[in-house]
């Protein structure tokens, strides 16, 4: 809370057992005072109006409020009535409100914003758990204490309803009210969740999501327009958008909101996402070169089972040397026109076969020597190469790409098994032209050309930039600057407040991006107000009182004569505004050095009574001029005030030597001398 100000005329000196020593602030609900009891300091809020017949309900809600968890709220201590008006005593939190802190230091972002979101959502969940609906959750009711944010002014629902009816004030702040509060529908904790989302928008952007101008347009936008989320991004942006849903049934509860902020909710998340690697890794595009995996994991999910490519798999019999074989022809479909014969499987055989010739072991047993074995090995290698060309390389190349095939002498690649096995040539490896090969059916020459998609780009982060810098950033990104509107805001003049579409949105290049920039805050009209009232008006307008200069005037003492900058000028929030205030009276002119009669006339014209005092001077040039004045120049003299001026006179000639000096009279030499 801000430093307490002195009590005003009419403020109570005591409320119940609490002695009031200062005023902490005043809002639409009531005035807040700094109170003390038994050496402890408290915040005491006195509501503007009585609660009528709702005293019992008010006291019941106060009892409920006392049981709200106090780790992130200002604990309610006591309550009472003063001449029918209720007051509530709560824990004193020494810190500014979120509204004031953002106005002075700017929006929050990153970890600071997330900590604020979690702390306030925790407080809201605790308040709702106690059976209380806050009804007026807003930046002014979030205090930033030294130990973290605290939520205040909960437990006042019945009292505020009754007091608002008597005093003519409304419950809630328009910019942060839920639609059901505007339409007088049933108000539940969902209204507080809506206000929480609006408060997070303010913390991130220094403005409410539906604007903060006059009441009627704000309420209309709350009921009909989408919120401006501004700089909010990531998970928090998604949660705030859900909280600002216009249908209360679609908003998360405060407990659900807290769990979402903490990342505890797993509803609807696939199990594989909850395992390592994290989701942002799972969403990464696949590598250009697929890793070698087993047939089950290598098959693409978008290919029907009948078209899965055959893969080499380990021999099930455990052959020596870790031999590999192709799957049986009955279980693996082959491409159309593929004439590669299936290798028959002898009973209990452990070696791969190509065609119908004898196995390598049989050849060795017959003593045919190493030439046949070498030929068999070469045939196996060539068959493996064919499989690579038919299956793996096309998989790496993609569905549409044609890649050059390595060839010897430009002819088709064929495998050369032993003379007993026929030569095979899979159609997928045949040339379709010089230096090229084709896989599967060829596209017709009359197929329509592929339509190129327009280039897309993410809208850069523009919030907080100057208008000129934001325009350059949009141009660099290939985007176009759309309409630029201005809005009263405490940020420096020309600073970007919001962008539409919002930063981070992926759009086509050339898209127009509309900007909303700060127009600063207008200096209010203060002329004619008393000094203290004018300074309070400056603070309320988001500005700060500057130097005070006094000027003589016929106006009453302390009345504002002028401001600098002038009324209507636009300045940044918190800028000082100098005041010129009146000091009743006539400004005394400077007459020293002027001729005696001229000085006398000037003083009489200023409304002053003049008395002349003479003083002899040796310098005859100063005779007849004013040497001094009793009131300093610039002093404000009241009506008919008297001023004494001292005028110089030349010395009188002395008597001749030996003669006695003539007698003098008060008015000059004796006549006849």
Considering only CA atoms, which of 451, 427, 449 is closest in space to residue 439? 427
Residue 297 — left, alpha, or beta (φ > 0 → left; ψ -120 to 50 → alpha)?
alpha
- The domain locations on the chain are 14-262, 456-516, 522-584, 589-649
- Domain at 522-584: CATH architecture: 2-Layer Sandwich (3.30)
Question: Which fold would CATH assign to domain 456-516?
Answer: Trypsin Inhibitor V; Chain A (3.30.10)
Task: Using the predicted structure, report yes or no on whether residue 310 has a pLDDT greater than 90.
Answer: no
Other C-beta atoms lying within 10 Å of the C-beta of residue 496: 24
Q: Give the integer Cα–Cα distance in Å for 612 and 432.
A: 125
The CA-based angle 231-237-238, given to 5 degrees, is 155
Write the pLDDT tens digit of every residue in 206-261: 999 999 888 889 999 999 999 999 999 998 999 999 999 999 999 999 999 999 99
How confident is the model at residue 222, as a pLDDT? 95
Task: Using the predicted structure, report yes or no on whether residue 476 has a pLDDT greater than 70.
Answer: yes
Cβ 531 vs Cβ 558: under 8 Å: yes
H or E, element range at 225: none
Task: Categorize the per-residue pLDDT at 384 as very low, low, confident or very high, splitting at 50, 70 and 90.
Answer: low
How confident is the model at residue 514, as a pLDDT? 92
Write the pLDDT tens digit of every residue in 287-300: 443 344 444 444 44
How confident is the model at residue 330, as a pLDDT? 41
How confident is the model at residue 471, as a pLDDT? 92
233 is catalytic: no
How confident is the model at residue 144, as a pLDDT? 92
The CATH number assigned to the domain with range 14-262 reads 1.10.510.10
Segment 86-102 mean pLDDT? 91
How confident is the model at residue 205, as a pLDDT? 94
Q: Where are the alpha helices (DSSP H) in 551-646?
A: 596-605
**Where is pLDDT greater, at 330 or 70?**
70
Structure tokens at 490: 């405490």
Cβ 107 vs Cβ 201: under 8 Å: no
Task: Using the predicted structure, report yes or no on whether residue 31 has a pLDDT greater than 50.
Answer: yes
**Where is pLDDT greater, at 504 or 639?**
504
Considering only CA atoms, which of 236, 243, 253 is closest in space to residue 189? 253
Segment 134-158 mean pLDDT? 84
Its pTM stands at 0.42
How confident is the model at residue 364, as a pLDDT? 44
How confident is the model at residue 143, as a pLDDT? 92
Task: Using the predicted structure, report yes or no on whether residue 165 has a pLDDT greater than 80.
Answer: no
Other C-beta atoms lying within 10 Å of the C-beta of residue 330: 7
How confident is the model at residue 449, as a pLDDT? 53
Q: Give the integer Cα–Cα distance in Å for 649 and 636.
A: 29
Environment class of 1 (CB within 10 Å of its CB; exposed 0-12, middle 13-18, buried 19+): buried
DSSP string, 117-134: HHHHHHHHHHHHHTT---
- The two beta strands, 560-564 and 512-518, are unpaired
Cβ 36 vs Cβ 18: under 8 Å: yes
How confident is the model at residue 172, as a pLDDT? 54
How confident is the model at residue 453, as a pLDDT? 62
How confident is the model at residue 62, as a pLDDT? 83
Task: Using the predicted structure, report yes or no on whether residue 130 has a pLDDT greater than 70.
Answer: yes
How confident is the model at residue 209, as a pLDDT? 96
How confident is the model at residue 552, as a pLDDT? 87
Q: Percent of the chain scored above 90 by pLDDT?
A: 30
Cβ 525 vs Cβ 541: under 8 Å: no
Segment 624-634 mean pLDDT? 88
SS3 135: coil
Task: Categorize the per-residue pLDDT at 30 as very low, low, confident or very high, splitting at 50, 70 and 90.
Answer: confident
In this structure, what DSSP letter does residue 659 have?
Answer: S
The residues facing 456 across adjacent strands are 508
How confident is the model at residue 41, as a pLDDT? 92
Task: Using the predicted structure, report yes or no on whether residue 394 has a pLDDT greater than 70.
Answer: no
Environment class of 409 (CB within 10 Å of its CB; exposed 0-12, middle 13-18, buried 19+): exposed
Cα–Cα separations (whole angstroms), residue 277 to 269, 282, 344, 405, 565:
14, 7, 44, 36, 59
Q: Give the integer Cα–Cα distance in Å for 202 and 129.
A: 26
**Given 11, 82, 136, 192, the catalytic residue:** 136
Which residues does 78 contact at the CB level (< 8 Å), separation at least 6?
16, 18, 88, 89
Q: Give the integer Cα–Cα distance in Å for 205 and 496.
A: 10
Other C-beta atoms lying within 10 Å of the C-beta of residue 437: 21
Considering only CA atoms, which of 338, 316, 339 is closest in space to residue 327? 316
SS3 535: helix
Query: How many residues belong to the chain?
Result: 673
Phi, psi of 197, rounded to the nearest 5 degrees? -60, -40
Phi, psi of 42, rounded to the nearest 5 degrees? -135, 165
Report which listed range, 106-120, 153-167, 250-264, 396-410, is most confident. Answer: 106-120
How confident is the model at residue 661, as a pLDDT? 53
Task: Categorize the per-residue pLDDT at 550 as very low, low, confident or very high, splitting at 50, 70 and 90.
Answer: confident
The residues facing 80 across adjacent strands are 87
Task: Using the predicted structure, report yes or no on whether residue 396 has a pLDDT greater than 90.
Answer: no
The torsion of the CA quartet 526, 529, 531, 534, rounded to 10 degrees, works out to: -40
Segment 437-463 mean pLDDT? 62
- The two beta strands, 512-518 and 480-487, are parallel
In this structure, what DSSP letter does residue 53 have?
Answer: G
Cα–Cα separations (whole angstroms), residue 240 to 172, 202, 234:
20, 11, 10
Segment 622-640 mean pLDDT? 84
Q: Give the integer Cα–Cα distance in Å for 214 and 487.
A: 12
Task: Using the predicted structure, report yes or no on whether residue 657 has a pLDDT greater than 80.
Answer: no
Q: Give the integer Cα–Cα distance in Å for 420 and 590.
A: 132
Segment 399-426 mean pLDDT? 41
The CATH number assigned to the domain with range 589-649 reads 3.30.10.20
Cβ 563 vs Cβ 577: under 8 Å: yes
Rg from Cα positions in the chain: 46
How confident is the model at residue 402, as a pLDDT? 42
Which residues does 549 contact at the CB level (< 8 Å), separation at least 6?
578, 579, 580, 581
Cβ 402 vs Cβ 438: under 8 Å: yes
Q: Where are the alpha helices (DSSP H) in 541-657?
A: 596-605
Which residues does 47 contact at the CB level (< 8 Å), separation at least 6?
29, 30, 85, 86, 87, 88, 156, 159, 160, 163
Q: Percent of the chain scored above 70 by pLDDT?
A: 65
Q: Give the integer Cα–Cα distance in Å for 33 and 82.
A: 14
How confident is the model at residue 653, as a pLDDT? 66
pLDDT mean across residues, the chain: 74
SS3 336: coil
Lowest mean pLDDT among 163-167, 560-564, 647-651: 163-167
Burial 609-641 (b: 16+ CB within 10 A, else e): ebeeeeeebeeeebbebbbebebeeebbbeeeb
Phi, psi of 302, rounded to the nearest 5 degrees? -95, 5
Q: Give the integer Cα–Cα distance in Å for 285 and 398.
A: 14
Same fold, 14-262 and 522-584: no
Task: Using the predicted structure, report yes or no on whether residue 655 has a pLDDT greater than 80.
Answer: no
Q: Give the integer Cα–Cα distance in Å for 566 and 577.
A: 9
């Amino acid at each position: 809370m801000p430093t307490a100000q002195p009590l005003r005329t009419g403020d109570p000196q005591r409320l119940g057992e609490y002695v009031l020593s200062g005023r902490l602030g005043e809002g639409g609900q009531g005035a807040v005072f700094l109170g003390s009891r038994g050496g402890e300091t408290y915040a005491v809020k006195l509501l503007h109006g009585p609660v009528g017949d709702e005293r019992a309900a008010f006291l019941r809600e106060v009892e409920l409020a006392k049981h709200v968890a106090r780790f992130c709220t200002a604990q309610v201590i006591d309550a009472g009535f003063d001449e029918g008006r209720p007051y509530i005593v709560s824990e004193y939190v020494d810190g500014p409100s979120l509204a004031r802190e953002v106005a002075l230091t700017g929006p929050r972002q990153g970890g600071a914003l997330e900590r604020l979101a979690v702390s306030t959502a925790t407080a809201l969940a605790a308040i709702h758990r106690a059976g209380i609906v806050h009804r007026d959750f807003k930046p002014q009711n979030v205090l930033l204490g030294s130990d973290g944010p605290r939520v205040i002014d909960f437990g006042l629902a019945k009292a505020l309803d009754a007091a608002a009816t008597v005093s003519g004030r409304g419950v809630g702040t328009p910019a942060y009210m839920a639609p059901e509060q505007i339409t007088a529908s049933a108000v539940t904790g969902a209204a507080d969740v809506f206000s929480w989302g609006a408060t997070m928008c303010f913390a991130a952007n220094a403005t409410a999501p539906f604007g903060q101008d006059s009441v009627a347009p704000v309420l209309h936008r709350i009921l009909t327009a989408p919120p401006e989320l501004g700089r909010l991004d990531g998970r928090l942006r998604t949660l705030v958008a859900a909280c600002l849903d216009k249908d209360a049934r679609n908003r998360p509860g405060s407990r659900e909101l807290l769990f979402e902020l903490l990342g505890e909710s797993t509803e609807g998340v696939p199990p594989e996402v909850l395992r390592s690697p994290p989701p942002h890794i799972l969403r990464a595009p696949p590598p250009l070169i697929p890793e070698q995996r087993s047939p089950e994991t290598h098959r693409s999910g978008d290919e029907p089972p009948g078209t899965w490519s055959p893969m080499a798999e380990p021999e099930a019999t455990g052959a020596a040397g870790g031999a590999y074989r192709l799957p049986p022809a009955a279980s693996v479909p082959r491409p159309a026109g593929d004439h590669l014969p299936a290798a028959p499987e002898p009973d209990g055989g452990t070696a791969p076969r190509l065609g119908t010739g004898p196995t390598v072991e049989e050849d060795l047993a017959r003593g045919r020597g190493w030439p046949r074995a070498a030929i068999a090995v070469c045939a196996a290698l060539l068959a493996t190469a064919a499989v690579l060309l038919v299956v793996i390389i096309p998989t790496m190349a993609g569905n549409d790409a044609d890649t050059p095939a390595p060839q010897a002498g430009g002819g088709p690649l064929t495998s050369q098994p032993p003379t007993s096995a026929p030569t095979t040539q899979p159609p997928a490896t045949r040339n379709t032209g010089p230096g090229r090969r084709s896989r599967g059916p060829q596209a017709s020459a009359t197929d329509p050309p592929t339509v190129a998609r327009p280039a897309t780009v993410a809208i850069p982060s523009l919030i907080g930039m100057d208008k000129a810098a934001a325009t350059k950033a949009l141009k660099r990104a290939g985007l176009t600057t759309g309409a630029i509107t201005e809005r009263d805001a405490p940020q420096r003049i020309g600073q970007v407040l919001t962008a539409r579409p919002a930063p981070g949105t992926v759009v086509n290049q050339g898209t127009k991006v509309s900007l909303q920039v700060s127009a600063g805050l207008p200096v209010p009209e203060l002329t004619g107000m008393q000094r203290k009232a004018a300074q309070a008006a400056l603070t309320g307008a988001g500005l700060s009182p500057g130097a005070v200069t006094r000027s003589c005037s016929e106006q009453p003492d302390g009345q504002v004569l002028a401001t600098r900058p002038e009324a209507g000028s636009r300045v940044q929030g918190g800028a000082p505004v100098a005041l010129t205030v009146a000091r009743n009276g006539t400004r005394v002119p400077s007459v020293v050095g002027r001729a005696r009669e001229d000085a006398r006339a000037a003083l009489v014209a200023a409304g002053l009574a003049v008395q002349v005092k003479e003083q002899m001077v040796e310098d005859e040039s100063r005779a007849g001029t004013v040497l001094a004045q009793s009131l300093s120049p610039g002093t404000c003299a009241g009506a008919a005030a008297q001023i004494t001026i001292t005028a110089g006179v030349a010395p009188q000639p002395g008597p001749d030597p030996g003669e006695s000096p003539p007698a003098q009279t008060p008015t000059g030499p004796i006549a006849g001398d």
